[in-house]
Amino acid sequence: MKTVPVREIMTENVVTCTPETNVAKAARLMTEKGVGCVVVTRNRKPVGILTEQDILTKVVSADLKASRIKVGEIMSKKLITIEADSDVLEAARIMTRNKIRRLPVVKGGVLAGILTASDIASFSPGMAEAIEHHEVLREEEVSRSVCERCGEVKEGLRQVNGMWLCEDCAESET
């Protein structure tokens, strides 16, 4: 199999914030940009990641006020990254092994992009079958999370054109 570097299929324009950003502002940014996460950086170096799942489980479900919580307090700090020149198959294995859908890409420790499970599936739909626990990459529905289009917490999100959408937004997308 021909090796393909991550930099060739990653998204370069990554939505970022600092650990000091409040969660409400980060959530608005995610909604405006239509993404499911922000990479948390300090001096262009990734120090964490904030996903819609983090917001749902650590803020919304605890009935906390998002404007009073700093991203650094709830972000996932055990950040797993990959070098831009690494192979896409290796990236897929890392994502599957760690049960993550988003992988920040670095070049010399500085954020260069982000690779998502959707990027990998779009690049090579059959790649998931080459991975031991491919169900993470093939996931097509999430029971409850934040819609990446309307920003509301909804049941039964599904992946449409690389985004996790509620039923209403999914119908308008097709």
pLDDT of 164 over the 50 cut: yes
pLDDT of residue 157: 73
Cβ neighbours, 10 Å, residue 135: 10
Residue 3 or residue 13, greater confidence: 13
pLDDT tier for residue 144 given thresholds of 50, 70 and 90: low
> DSSP secondary-structure letter at 22?
B
CA distance 100 to 82: 13
> DSSP secondary-structure letter at 77?
-
50 in Cβ contact with 37 (< 8 Å)? yes
76: β partners:
49
CA distance 164 to 148: 6
pLDDT tier for residue 152 given thresholds of 50, 70 and 90: low
> DSSP secondary-structure letter at 75?
S
pLDDT of residue 89: 85
Average pLDDT over residues 74-88: 94
pLDDT tier for residue 114 given thresholds of 50, 70 and 90: very high
Structure pTM? 0.70
Average pLDDT over residues 85-98: 89
pLDDT tier for residue 118 given thresholds of 50, 70 and 90: confident
Cα–Cα distances (Å) from 38 to 22, 77, 122, 150, in that order, read: 12, 13, 21, 17
pLDDT of residue 125: 54
Cα–Cα distances (Å) from 132 to 95, 116, 127, in that order, read: 11, 18, 11
CA distance 48 to 111: 11
Portion of the chain with pLDDT greater than 70, in percent: 81
Q: Render pLDDT for 53-80 as a digit per residue (tens, 0 to 9).
A: 999 999 999 999 999 999 999 999 999 9
Of 9-18, 123-132, 157-166, least confident by mean pLDDT is 123-132
> DSSP secondary-structure letter at 70?
B
pLDDT of 29 over the 90 cut: yes
> DSSP secondary-structure letter at 59?
I
